[in-house]
Structure 1
Amino acid sequence: MEVIILTKNSLEILNLAAEACDDKRAEDIMALDMEQVSLVADYFLICHGTNERQVQSIARAVKDKMEENDIAVKRLEGLEQARWVLVDLGDIVCHVFHIDERQYYNLERLWGDASQVPLEVGQ
Protein backbone atom coordinates (compact mmCIF):
# COMPACT_ATOMS: atom_id res chain seq x y z
CA MET A 1 0.00 0.00 0.00
CA GLU A 2 1.39 3.42 -0.98
CA VAL A 3 2.05 5.87 1.87
CA ILE A 4 1.11 9.51 1.26
CA ILE A 5 2.68 12.46 3.08
CA LEU A 6 0.26 15.36 3.67
CA THR A 7 0.99 19.04 3.83
CA LYS A 8 1.89 20.14 7.33
CA ASN A 9 -1.44 21.83 8.02
CA SER A 10 -3.54 18.87 6.89
CA LEU A 11 -1.27 16.47 8.74
CA GLU A 12 -1.62 18.53 11.92
CA ILE A 13 -5.42 18.59 11.66
CA LEU A 14 -5.57 14.88 10.86
CA ASN A 15 -3.34 14.04 13.80
CA LEU A 16 -5.25 16.35 16.16
CA ALA A 17 -8.47 14.55 15.23
CA ALA A 18 -6.79 11.15 15.59
CA GLU A 19 -5.43 12.19 18.98
CA ALA A 20 -8.93 13.17 20.12
CA CYS A 21 -10.21 9.75 18.98
CA ASP A 22 -7.36 7.98 20.73
CA ASP A 23 -7.99 9.95 23.96
CA LYS A 24 -11.49 8.44 24.07
CA ARG A 25 -10.15 4.95 23.37
CA ALA A 26 -11.41 4.72 19.79
CA GLU A 27 -10.35 1.51 18.13
CA ASP A 28 -8.61 0.82 14.82
CA ILE A 29 -7.94 4.48 13.98
CA MET A 30 -6.87 4.92 10.36
CA ALA A 31 -6.67 7.64 7.73
CA LEU A 32 -7.18 7.35 3.97
CA ASP A 33 -6.02 9.73 1.24
CA MET A 34 -9.18 10.32 -0.79
CA GLU A 35 -7.86 13.00 -3.17
CA GLN A 36 -7.54 10.67 -6.16
CA VAL A 37 -10.62 8.53 -5.51
CA SER A 38 -13.42 10.85 -4.31
CA LEU A 39 -14.66 14.41 -4.59
CA VAL A 40 -16.27 14.23 -1.12
CA ALA A 41 -13.11 14.99 0.86
CA ASP A 42 -9.35 14.88 0.58
CA TYR A 43 -8.93 12.64 3.64
CA PHE A 44 -11.07 10.26 5.70
CA LEU A 45 -10.28 9.52 9.33
CA ILE A 46 -12.01 6.29 10.39
CA CYS A 47 -12.40 4.74 13.83
CA HIS A 48 -14.98 2.96 15.96
CA GLY A 49 -16.32 2.63 19.46
CA THR A 50 -17.94 -0.38 21.06
CA ASN A 51 -21.17 1.31 22.23
CA GLU A 52 -23.28 4.37 21.49
CA ARG A 53 -22.01 6.34 24.50
CA GLN A 54 -18.40 5.86 23.43
CA VAL A 55 -19.19 6.81 19.81
CA GLN A 56 -20.78 10.05 21.04
CA SER A 57 -17.83 10.73 23.33
CA ILE A 58 -15.33 10.23 20.50
CA ALA A 59 -17.23 12.51 18.12
CA ARG A 60 -17.60 15.22 20.76
CA ALA A 61 -13.89 14.97 21.58
CA VAL A 62 -13.01 15.55 17.91
CA LYS A 63 -15.35 18.55 17.78
CA ASP A 64 -13.96 20.00 21.02
CA LYS A 65 -10.32 19.45 19.97
CA MET A 66 -10.93 21.24 16.68
CA GLU A 67 -12.65 24.18 18.38
CA GLU A 68 -9.79 24.44 20.93
CA ASN A 69 -7.39 24.77 17.99
CA ASP A 70 -9.53 27.27 16.02
CA ILE A 71 -10.34 24.73 13.32
CA ALA A 72 -13.85 24.99 11.89
CA VAL A 73 -16.22 22.06 12.30
CA LYS A 74 -18.48 22.46 9.29
CA ARG A 75 -21.01 19.82 10.28
CA LEU A 76 -21.66 17.09 12.82
CA GLU A 77 -24.14 14.41 11.70
CA GLY A 78 -25.50 11.28 13.38
CA LEU A 79 -24.61 12.14 16.97
CA GLU A 80 -28.06 11.32 18.35
CA GLN A 81 -28.21 7.78 16.96
CA ALA A 82 -24.46 7.27 17.55
CA ARG A 83 -24.14 4.47 15.00
CA TRP A 84 -22.16 6.40 12.36
CA VAL A 85 -21.17 9.96 13.20
CA LEU A 86 -19.61 12.24 10.60
CA VAL A 87 -17.49 15.16 11.73
CA ASP A 88 -16.95 17.36 8.68
CA LEU A 89 -13.73 19.36 8.92
CA GLY A 90 -13.82 20.52 5.31
CA ASP A 91 -11.06 18.64 3.50
CA ILE A 92 -11.09 15.98 6.21
CA VAL A 93 -14.13 13.91 7.19
CA CYS A 94 -13.94 11.94 10.42
CA HIS A 95 -16.10 8.80 10.45
CA VAL A 96 -16.82 7.58 13.98
CA PHE A 97 -18.61 4.24 13.77
CA HIS A 98 -20.27 1.90 16.19
CA ILE A 99 -18.30 -1.35 15.74
CA ASP A 100 -21.28 -3.12 14.11
CA GLU A 101 -21.74 -0.38 11.51
CA ARG A 102 -18.03 -0.25 10.78
CA GLN A 103 -17.99 -3.94 10.00
CA TYR A 104 -21.14 -3.64 7.88
CA TYR A 105 -20.13 -0.58 5.79
CA ASN A 106 -16.41 -1.46 5.68
CA LEU A 107 -15.24 1.87 4.23
CA GLU A 108 -11.68 0.62 4.08
CA ARG A 109 -12.73 -2.02 1.56
CA LEU A 110 -15.19 0.25 -0.25
CA TRP A 111 -12.43 2.82 -0.77
CA GLY A 112 -9.72 0.22 -1.30
CA ASP A 113 -8.03 2.35 -3.96
CA ALA A 114 -7.24 5.03 -1.35
CA SER A 115 -3.76 5.03 0.16
CA GLN A 116 -3.42 4.81 3.92
CA VAL A 117 -1.93 7.86 5.62
CA PRO A 118 0.44 7.34 8.57
CA LEU A 119 -0.80 8.74 11.89
CA GLU A 120 1.06 9.59 15.06
CA VAL A 121 -1.55 7.77 17.21
CA GLY A 122 -3.79 4.74 17.01
CA GLN A 123 -1.26 2.39 15.49
Structure 2
Amino acid sequence: MEVKDILHLAVEACDDKRAEDIIALDMDQVSMIADYFLICHGSNERQVQAIARSIKEKMDEHDIPVKRIEGLEHARWVLVDLGDIVCHVFHKEERTYYNIERLWGDASQVPIQVGND
Protein backbone atom coordinates (compact mmCIF):
# COMPACT_ATOMS: atom_id res chain seq x y z
CA MET A 1 0.00 0.00 0.00
CA GLU A 2 1.28 3.46 -0.93
CA VAL A 3 2.00 6.06 1.76
CA LYS A 4 -0.76 8.35 0.44
CA ASP A 5 -3.25 5.47 0.76
CA ILE A 6 -2.22 4.98 4.39
CA LEU A 7 -2.57 8.73 4.95
CA HIS A 8 -6.10 8.56 3.52
CA LEU A 9 -6.98 5.68 5.90
CA ALA A 10 -5.67 7.66 8.87
CA VAL A 11 -7.71 10.69 7.80
CA GLU A 12 -10.81 8.48 7.58
CA ALA A 13 -10.13 7.10 11.05
CA CYS A 14 -9.86 10.63 12.47
CA ASP A 15 -12.99 11.78 10.68
CA ASP A 16 -14.91 8.71 11.92
CA LYS A 17 -14.40 9.99 15.48
CA ARG A 18 -15.25 13.57 14.57
CA ALA A 19 -11.72 14.93 14.88
CA GLU A 20 -11.58 18.64 14.20
CA ASP A 21 -9.41 20.65 11.82
CA ILE A 22 -7.69 17.66 10.20
CA ILE A 23 -4.66 18.68 8.18
CA ALA A 24 -1.75 16.85 6.58
CA LEU A 25 1.70 18.35 6.09
CA ASP A 26 4.17 17.11 3.49
CA MET A 27 7.36 16.73 5.51
CA ASP A 28 9.47 15.21 2.73
CA GLN A 29 11.53 18.34 2.00
CA VAL A 30 11.45 19.68 5.55
CA SER A 31 12.39 16.84 7.90
CA MET A 32 13.68 13.29 7.94
CA ILE A 33 11.25 12.37 10.74
CA ALA A 34 8.44 11.31 8.42
CA ASP A 35 6.99 11.87 4.95
CA TYR A 36 3.75 13.27 6.40
CA PHE A 37 2.40 14.71 9.62
CA LEU A 38 -1.32 14.29 10.16
CA ILE A 39 -2.63 16.78 12.71
CA CYS A 40 -6.06 16.99 14.31
CA HIS A 41 -7.68 17.61 17.66
CA GLY A 42 -10.51 16.53 19.90
CA SER A 43 -12.43 18.60 22.38
CA ASN A 44 -11.77 16.39 25.42
CA GLU A 45 -9.51 13.56 26.59
CA ARG A 46 -12.00 10.81 25.78
CA GLN A 47 -12.36 12.00 22.21
CA VAL A 48 -8.58 12.28 21.80
CA GLN A 49 -8.21 8.68 22.98
CA ALA A 50 -11.03 7.55 20.68
CA ILE A 51 -9.37 9.21 17.67
CA ALA A 52 -5.99 7.62 18.41
CA ARG A 53 -7.57 4.20 18.93
CA SER A 54 -9.54 4.60 15.71
CA ILE A 55 -6.29 5.17 13.79
CA LYS A 56 -4.81 2.02 15.36
CA GLU A 57 -7.91 -0.05 14.59
CA LYS A 58 -8.03 1.17 10.97
CA MET A 59 -4.38 0.24 10.49
CA ASP A 60 -4.96 -3.18 12.08
CA GLU A 61 -7.84 -3.79 9.65
CA HIS A 62 -5.43 -3.27 6.75
CA ASP A 63 -2.43 -5.08 8.29
CA ILE A 64 -0.45 -1.85 8.52
CA PRO A 65 1.91 -1.86 11.48
CA VAL A 66 1.67 0.87 14.09
CA LYS A 67 5.21 1.38 15.35
CA ARG A 68 4.31 3.19 18.55
CA ILE A 69 1.61 5.15 20.35
CA GLU A 70 2.68 7.76 22.91
CA GLY A 71 0.59 9.89 25.27
CA LEU A 72 -2.62 7.86 25.18
CA GLU A 73 -2.98 7.74 28.97
CA HIS A 74 -3.07 11.52 29.48
CA ALA A 75 -4.66 12.20 26.08
CA ARG A 76 -3.40 15.75 25.73
CA TRP A 77 -1.07 15.09 22.76
CA VAL A 78 -1.06 11.56 21.38
CA LEU A 79 1.47 10.50 18.75
CA VAL A 80 0.60 7.55 16.56
CA ASP A 81 3.74 6.54 14.65
CA LEU A 82 2.97 4.79 11.38
CA GLY A 83 6.56 5.03 10.14
CA ASP A 84 6.28 7.32 7.12
CA ILE A 85 3.34 9.11 8.75
CA VAL A 86 3.21 10.55 12.25
CA CYS A 87 -0.28 11.35 13.49
CA HIS A 88 -0.54 14.11 16.09
CA VAL A 89 -3.85 13.90 17.93
CA PHE A 90 -4.17 16.88 20.23
CA HIS A 91 -6.52 18.05 22.90
CA LYS A 92 -7.79 21.38 21.55
CA GLU A 93 -5.95 23.41 24.22
CA GLU A 94 -2.61 21.72 23.52
CA ARG A 95 -2.97 22.16 19.79
CA THR A 96 -3.44 25.89 20.26
CA TYR A 97 -0.52 26.07 22.70
CA TYR A 98 2.04 24.05 20.70
CA ASN A 99 0.89 25.22 17.25
CA ILE A 100 3.08 22.73 15.39
CA GLU A 101 1.60 23.85 12.09
CA ARG A 102 3.47 27.11 12.62
CA LEU A 103 6.59 25.34 13.88
CA TRP A 104 6.70 23.30 10.67
CA GLY A 105 5.53 26.25 8.56
CA ASP A 106 7.93 25.37 5.73
CA ALA A 107 5.98 22.18 5.07
CA SER A 108 3.28 22.39 2.46
CA GLN A 109 -0.24 21.36 3.33
CA VAL A 110 -1.52 18.29 1.50
CA PRO A 111 -5.07 18.48 0.19
CA ILE A 112 -7.22 15.92 1.97
CA GLN A 113 -10.90 15.14 1.79
CA VAL A 114 -12.88 14.46 4.94
CA GLY A 115 -16.48 13.52 5.43
CA ASN A 116 -18.80 14.77 2.75
CA ASP A 117 -16.64 17.78 1.79
TM-score range, shorter chain: over 0.9
The normalised TM-score by structure 2 is 0.96
Number of aligned residue pairs:
116
1:36 counterpart SS class: coil
Gaps of 5+ in 2: none
Identity of aligned residues (%): 76
Equivalent position amino acid for 2:84 in 1: D
Equivalent position amino acid for 2:18 in 1: R
Query: What is the root-mean-square deviation of aligned Cα atoms in Å?
Result: 1.1
1:5 aligns with none
2:2 counterpart SS class: helix
2:72 counterpart SS class: coil
Aligned partners of 1:15 and 1:121 also within 8 Å: no
- What is the rounded CA distance, in whole Å, between the counterparts of 1:91 and 1:106 in structure 2? 21
Kindly report which structure 2 residues correspond to 1:32-43, keeping only aligned pairs within 5 A, or say none.
Answer: 32-43=25-36
* Structure 1: 4+ residue segments shifted above 2 A: none
1:120, distance to aligned residue in structure 2 (A): 2.2
1:50 aligns with 43
1:67 aligns with 60
